[in-house]
């Protein structure tokens, strides 16, 4: 692939990049391997992509790892995914911390096996003060749920006649310190949002790539950033 890294404008790096890591199952199928092997190889890609993101100065990287709709998959696959996630955090927690990465969790803890939840919580606590880059893991995440939960919390405390504003709504989302998404990347050649980051995607640039997630490399991220830098963001203005 062309060397896109050297062509990037360091003054125009998106602050928040969000990735829908899709295509693990199809990657496995192509190789006549079980779907879980695709997920395992997909998990192995995450570290290099996070390193590449930190290297070019991305401040926030959100990664879609499990959607609230993914419960509709066969029980064995779901169970395998939780085991894999648990293993991922167990084996990476030290390195993540040493690299100065802060980890956030966006999603619903309820439903996630308690051993998986425990290691996620441990990672959150251990990396809370790091600031090289923020990795926001979207796990058991649903964009509609995120907005609804915020609205419902607000409704309970609402004063008579008070109305929600955009600013207030943004502060009610999970991890309100996360800014709007500047660039959303989806792999695997599917052209949809699949309930990801609905509120924060409002003015994101969308890049869809025809690569299955386990084949995704730093060079693909640079390519997406290169495309992003060619876009003209108008935000409704001229
Ligand atoms: C993405 O890969 C990972 C998760 C949704 C957990 P998929 O499992 O969706 O892979 P495909 O889309 O079936 O190829
Ligand atoms: C979206 O991928 C969720 C994750 C990547 C974790 P899916 O594979 O679940 O989305 P659909 O079903 O193709 O829309
Ligand atoms: Mg998929």
Six-digit token pair at 159? 């004063």
Has residue 221 got a pLDDT over 90? yes
Cα 207 to ligand 3 centre (Å): 16
Quick check: 233 and 15 in contact, CB under 8 A? no
Within a domain: 225 = yes
Say whether 9 is catalytic. Answer: no
User: Which ligand has the minimum distance to the alpha carbon of residue 141?
Assistant: 2
Query: What's the pLDDT at 153?
Result: 98
Q: What is the pLDDT of residues 78-133, one digit of tens each?
A: 999 999 999 999 999 999 999 999 999 999 999 999 999 999 999 999 999 999 99
Max CA-CA distance within the chain?
60
Within a domain: 175 = no
Q: Is 136 exposed, middle or buried (0-12, 13-18, 19+ CB in 10 A)?
A: buried
Q: What are the residues facing 60 on neighbouring strands?
A: 16, 134
Q: What is the pLDDT of residues 134-181, one digit of tens each?
A: 999 999 999 999 999 999 999 999 999 999 999 999 999 999 999 999
User: The domain containing residue 29 runs over which residues?
Assistant: 14-142+180-229
Query: What's the pLDDT at 2?
Result: 81
Q: What is the pLDDT of residues 20-60, one digit of tens each?
A: 999 999 999 999 999 999 999 999 999 999 999 999 999 99
Quick check: 181 and 12 in contact, CB under 8 A? no
Instruction: Name the phi and psi angles at 69, rounded to 5.
Output: -90, -15
Cα 67 to ligand 2 centre (Å): 7
Cα 58 to ligand 3 centre (Å): 25
Within a domain: 184 = yes
Within a domain: 55 = yes
User: Which ligand has the minimum distance to the alpha carbon of residue 81?
Assistant: 1
The finding on whether 86 has its CB within 6 A of some atom of ligand 1 is: no
Using DSSP's 3-state secondary structure scheme, residue 154 falls into helix
Q: Report the chain's C-alpha Rg in angstroms.
A: 18
Q: How many CB atoms are located within 10 Å of the residue 90 CB?
A: 14
Q: What is the DSSP secondary structure assignment for residue 27, as one 8-state letter?
A: H
User: Which ligand has the minimum distance to the alpha carbon of residue 106?
Assistant: 2
pLDDT confidence bin for 1, thresholds 50/70/90: confident
Cα 70 to ligand 3 centre (Å): 9
The finding on whether 22 has its CB within 6 A of some atom of ligand 2 is: yes
Residues 29, 55: Cα–Cα separation, whole Å: 33
Contacts with 153 (C-beta within 8 Å, 6 or more apart), sequence order:
172
Q: What share of the chain is helix, strand, coil (3-state, %, to 5)?
A: 45, 15, 35
Q: How many domains does the chain have?
A: 1
Within a domain: 149 = no
* Average of per-residue pLDDT values in the chain: 98
The finding on whether 66 has its CB within 6 A of some atom of ligand 1 is: yes
75-98 and 35-56 helices, crossing angle to 10°: 30
Q: What is the pLDDT of residues 198-217, one digit of tens each?
A: 999 999 999 999 999 999 99
Residues 55, 107: Cα–Cα separation, whole Å: 27
Q: Domain with 89 in it: what CATH number?
A: 3.40.1180.10
Quick check: 106 and 145 in contact, CB under 8 A? no
Within a domain: 74 = yes
Residue 172 backbone class (left: φ over 0; alpha: ψ -120 to 50; beta: rest): alpha
Say whether 227 is catalytic. Answer: no
Helices (H), the chain: 24-30, 35-56, 75-98, 114-127, 143-157, 166-171, 218-230
Within a domain: 198 = yes
The finding on whether 196 has its CB within 6 A of some atom of ligand 1 is: no
Within a domain: 100 = yes
């Amino acid at each position: 692939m062309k060397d896109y890294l050297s062509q990037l404008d360091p003054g125009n790096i998106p602050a928040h990049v969000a990735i829908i890591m899709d295509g693990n199952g199809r990657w496995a199928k192509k190789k006549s391997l079980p779907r879980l092997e695709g997920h395992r190889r997909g998990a192995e890609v995450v570290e290099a992509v996070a390193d590449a993101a930190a290297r070019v100065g991305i401040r926030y990287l959100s990664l879609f790892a499990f959607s609230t709709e993914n419960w509709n998959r066969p029980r064995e696959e779901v169970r395998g995914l939780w085991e894999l996630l648990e293993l991922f955090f167990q084996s990476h927690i030290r390195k993540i911390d040493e690299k100065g990465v802060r980890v956030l969790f966006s999603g619903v803890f309820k439903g996630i096996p308690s051993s998986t939840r425990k290691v996620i919580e441990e990672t959150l606590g251990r990396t809370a003060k790091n600031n090289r880059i923020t990795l926001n893991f979207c796990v058991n995440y649903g964009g509609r749920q995120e907005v609804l939960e915020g609205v419902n919390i607000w409704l309970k405390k609402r004063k008579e006649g008070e109305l929600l504003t955009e600013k207030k709504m943004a502060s009610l989302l999970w991890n309100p310190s996360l800014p709007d998404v500047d660039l959303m990347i989806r792999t695997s050649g599917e052209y949809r949002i699949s309930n990801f980051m609905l509120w924060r995607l409002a003015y994101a640039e969308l890049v869809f790539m025809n690569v299955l997630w386990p084949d995704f490399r730093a060079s693909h991220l640079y390519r997406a950033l290169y495309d992003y830098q060619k876009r003209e963001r108008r935000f409704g203005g001229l």
